[in-house]
Chain A
Amino acid sequence: MSFASLFPASLEINNLSKSFGARRAVDGVRFSVGTGEFVALLGPNGAGKSTLFQMLSGLFSADAGYANIAGIDIGTAPILALAKLAIVFQQPALDLDLSVAANMQFQTDLHGIPRPQAQVRIAHWLARFGLTDRTNDACRLLSGGTRRKVELARALLSAPELLLMDEATVGIDPASRASILADVKALCHERGMGVLWATHLVDEAENADRIVVMVAGKVRFDGSPQELLKTGKHANLTAAFLELTRTAGEKA
């Protein structure tokens, strides 16, 4: 047994592909997210990020390739892989009629966490995100940013080894966006949890450990923010990203 296999990456994607009819939404994607690493998956709308996330979360099956979550193939052992994974979807997924606590308990029950232990974890994460006073409020009463925080807190209840954030800051104000980004980055390093943060906003990727740029279903760049800047004589990441998107678009 190799040293690497003892500590598998939080996520390892190899040659993953998915087509819808004649259109290849995800085309031979290959990259990884290390333990405790924050990776930004940057791409314009329609780049295939959401399709990739849906394959990683077992909602779609891949046409080819594989994805290992903490060393477990989501295609062949989805239940074991899903136990290691947490997702905050682009589209909010809270039951608005239920309270914050009830939404969180729904998650702990689905993950088979015993109720006494679940109560401790729920209290911990609500306190961590400053939501203790909203515990019994119906989610319908919460602002967009607070709902996102509840979703993030809920995702962390199962102590995941990989957190997928699928454009989770869309539609919320800049202050809430910055707060959620800072929280996730801190948690990533504190807990040794891999994070894959999908976004089309370059500023959210600026402080990532690595940036993976996806355009038209393919990975066009995989490296640090500094390396992305060096791909041309760009003053900032936005310029580098736009250039990469443009040239990739021409090739496609």
Chain B
Amino acid sequence: MKLMHARLALAAIAGREVHKFLRQPGRLASSLVRPLLWLVVFSAGFRQVADLGGVIPFDPALDYRLYMAPGLALMVCLFNGMQSSLAMVYDREMGVMRLLLTAPLPRSYLLACKLAGGAFLSVLQALVFLILVVLWGIGLSPLQVLLGLPVLVLSALMLSAFGLVLSVYIKQVENFAGTMNFVIFPMFFLSSALYPIQRMLDAGAHWIYWLAAFNPFTHAVEALRYAMYGEIAGRSLAVVLVSTLLFYLVAAAGYDPQRGLSKTARPG
């Protein structure tokens, strides 16, 4: 594959994602409303009961809304990853996916272009959310956003790769509602986005704790939270990195004509 060919294909595939996003201004608004509701409405009452004692690197004396900010930024990425997945399912139904899969390029590269486009949009939306939090003046500094950016990018890649995996197995756009209930919500709630998972153990919910401890989203939240305080959460970063690679490889296998679509596609 020539470099120019690779560059043009990246511009075409990722550029199409961005172009579609820009044509739907409501999409940015709706992606921001969700985390802002959590940050403003949910935290209004919950910050009185949330016990953040012993949470590293967070200082319990700080505002609970600052604890939520990394998890909510990644919620934006999680939903955008699912949106990209939905777009791929829609493309498959509309036939555009066939055009893509018959391009003279390695499948793995085509998926990487999709991944890049999805992750770029995720980071863009999450940054807009974090900038709004900075502007709100509850104590998040621009430097913290900057420190968190590399982890935000890595986590966005992981969640977009997860979206690619889902797009292999979701056969119709109509099935997307089920994905929300069975994948997105459990992934978000079984994490440290809203409160430390240690509190699950304290409450005796051991199996819920272990599910949360193995949830890659928990590690993305922790890695981002640490990064925003200038610290490195090595284990969480490693989990995010390995999960990204794993999701990408599973998606690539799913789109391989010898293993994935050939088994599931409709004969004609």
Contact = CB atoms under 8 A, between A and B. Distances in A.
- 8 tightest Cβ-Cβ pairs between the two chains A and B: A112-B5, A50-B268, A109-B12, A93-B95, A110-B103, A83-B104, A82-B104, A109-B8
A25 B95 contact: no
B95 A89 contact: yes
B103 A87 contact: no
Nearest to B102: A57
Contacts of B95: 89, 91-94
B4 A112 contact: yes
A25 B266 CA distance: 11
30 contacts: A20-B267, A25-B267, A46-B268, A49-B268, A51-B267, A54-B265, A54-B268, A57-B98, A58-B101, A58-B257, A59-B262, A60-B262, A61-B257, A61-B258, A79-B105, A82-B103, A87-B98, A91-B98, A92-B95, A95-B94, A96-B94, A97-B23, A105-B12, A107-B99, A109-B9, A110-B99, A110-B104, A111-B103, A112-B5, A112-B8
A110 B4 contact: no
Given A59-B98, A106-B16, A114 B104 contact: no
B11 interface: yes
Contacts, number: 101
Interface string A196-214: 0000000000000000000
Given A23-B267, A93-B94, A93-B99, A59 B257 contact: yes
| Secondary structure type dominating chain B contacts | helix
A91 B98 CA distance: 10
Interface residues of B, number: 32
A80 interface: yes
A130 B267 CA distance: 35
Interface of B: 1-2, 4-5, 8-9, 11-13, 16, 19-20, 23, 94-96, 98-106, 257-258, 261-262, 265, 267-268
Contacts of B4: 112, 114
Contacts of B106: 79
A95 B268 contact: no
Nearest to B103: A110
B267 to A, nearest CB: 5
B266 to A, nearest CB: 9
